[in-house]
Structures are given as structure tokens and as C-alpha cells.
Structure 1
Amino acid sequence: MILPIVAYGDPVLRKVGIDIDKDYPDLDILIENMKETMTNASGVGLAAPQIGKAIRLFVVNATPFSEDEELDSEERKFLATFDKVFINAKILKEEGDEWAFNEGCLSIPDIREDVFRQEKITIEYLDENFEKHTDVIKGIAARVVQHEYDHIEGILFTDKISSLKKRLIKKKLENISKGKIRADYRMKFPLLKRK
């Protein structure tokens, strides 16, 4: 089932997610719904807060980046199969040079900004079968994971841009929270005035 994506301004996007266990109600259905919602919105990641749930869960499918001819063949090959579920994730280490990449967010449609992040992470998480993993991820895949991880920490990509850029997009952000935006997918707006 395709779920509505929560728009900028909703308090759930600012909550630090809580850990869940394998008894979380209908977890397998929730994960499938999140994957379907992400794909429907042409996203490469979706975190539970973006569908109104303040829990430590996000899904990532970076395969669309595998078509990028500017990336080396090894990274494209890695991205082609990078489709994962992250439960109770914890980034243990971020390392390497910070590099800029133009990011967007399904909760903040029509706004894209360059965000600086480190190039390599070590992350510990549980998969959908509650098996524990510790992975070292780099490049575009690391960036996607860092972006989604920020969501379960109550952080948005707009928090990582300069104060000048924040001032320049302030009105756009207000309009998004009021529903004065057109998205190609279902959204839930916190300040939408019903007529």
C-alpha cells in the first residue's frame, strides 16, 4: 500500500526514533509499504518518520544511481544491488573527506541543495530478519544511508546548509508545510488549511 509522505513542518520529522524489536506490529507489512511508497515517489530512501512513525527504521534502494555514467564501474555495480532495510541503525564511524552532493528529500519536494558529508561510514544495524550487520559503506550509497539515518535522528538535510541558504528557502519551506506545493505522490501537510 502506498502511504502518504509527511511534509516538512510536521513534528514527527524532528523526533529521535525509538528502537523496535521483532514483535513490532505488522513490521513486514510496514517495510513492504515503505518500499512501495519510496518507489512510487521515485525515491532512493525512505525513513519511518517520513510516514509518521518515530521509530528507527529506514529502507534504501540506490539502484537508480547505478545508471550514472559519471561514476566508476565498480561503484555502479555496487549500487545496482544496494537495496537494504535498516532497523535500529547506529553509525559507528564517519571518515574521509567531506564532499558536496546535491540532495533532495521526499518530505521537502522541489528543494535541492548541496550538502557536505564524509565519504565513508561504518554502520551497525539489523536487517528485516533481525540479523545483525556491521557494514562499511562509501560513496553515493554512504550518502543515501547518511541522509536516511539523519531522519531517524530528527535531522533534515536543510539543517546542514548555510544560514544564508536557509534564509533563501525559508518561504518555500513554509509553503511546503502549508500544502502550497505540487508533488507527484501522496503527501500529508501539517499546516494545510482545510476549506
Structure 2
Amino acid sequence: MAKKSESKASQEATILSGDNPEIMKQIAEVRTRLRETFGKVVMAMMGLPRYRNQTIADLQHLVLEPLIRDRVSIAYPAEQEENPMADVAGMAIWASVSEEVDAKIREQIKAGVFPVRLGTDEWSSGEINWLLDVIAPDRKTTASVIANFKQVVKDGDLRMHPIITRLLDKETLEKLGAVSQAEA
């Protein structure tokens, strides 16, 4: 069955590319990168208790939707240039949302929902940046991922899900410029 599905997807790609071998090659490269990145994110999530009760169906909205919309930022260790076998250091899952979606995120947080659930078109629906989770092996790497992530989202506010504040100590959060919602 999977072979038929893959074949149909390949046929659709061929129709869209007009049999252009260069476009077909680019499509294949994008698919390969997406699959590889998807695997890296899922493997990292598997090691965290906060994701252990998620189902395979949840991977659609937890990983695939943000990946397709370029809303997963992956940090690699500095030594990766010398050692190509060095693994992922950590990753940030984020969204740039409209005011309506911002309100939806706040409602979910208030209700204790984790992970936050966004619709397909909500991940990149506006200018309000939300850091929804950081997946890293320790506090030091978490702080590094957040610091590097701030280079990705240079403009505007960066709102962080409360779970991130539990991953770091107060001093580190202050160094990163975090402001509690009570102060904001």
C-alpha cells in the first residue's frame, strides 16, 4: 500500500515539475531533508517525559506542521564542523502568530494544555513570536539554544511558554531578557 502511495506522490511531483530532471532532483532533496529532520526531532522528543504520552497521530501537529512551515530551529554543536558525527545540540519549536492565535495560545496555557495545539495555518499567521518549547539535554544547552534562537527571531517580542521557564533558573532567564507576564 505504501508503494502505491509513494508512486502516486511521485507521479504528482512529475506532473508538477513537467518532467524537468532538475526540479525532480530538488523535490527529492527536500523530501530527504524533511524526513531526516523529522526523525531528529522525534528522536529528541522521545527522551523527554513531557512527550512520552503523545501518540503517533500527534506527530502531525507537534512536528510535521511546524517543520513544513520552518518553525523548528535546530542547533548543532560547535564541534560538528570537525566531527560530522556530532549530534543535534537542541531545538526550538516556535510560531509567529496573529493576535487571535496569540489569545488561543494564552488560553491553552491558562488551561494547562501542553503541548500547545495550533492549526495548520496558525503556525505562521502573524508577527507575534512564541517560543513554544526547547528540546535540549540540559539547562546549559537549553540556554544556548534560546540565545541562538534569538538570532532567528530578531525583531519584536519573544513570548515563551511557561514550560521553558521551568527548564532554566531565574538568573539565566533574566540574562536572556525574559520578563514574566505579571511584569509585562
Q: TM range, normalised to the smaller chain?
A: under 0.3
Q: Comparing both chains, which one has the higher relative contact order based on Cα–Cα distances under 8 Å and sequence gaps of 6 or more? A: 1
Q: What TM-score comes out, normalization by structure 2 length?
A: 0.26
- Higher share of residues assigned helix: 2
Q: What TM-score comes out, normalization by structure 1 length?
A: 0.25
Bigger-Rg structure (1/2):
2
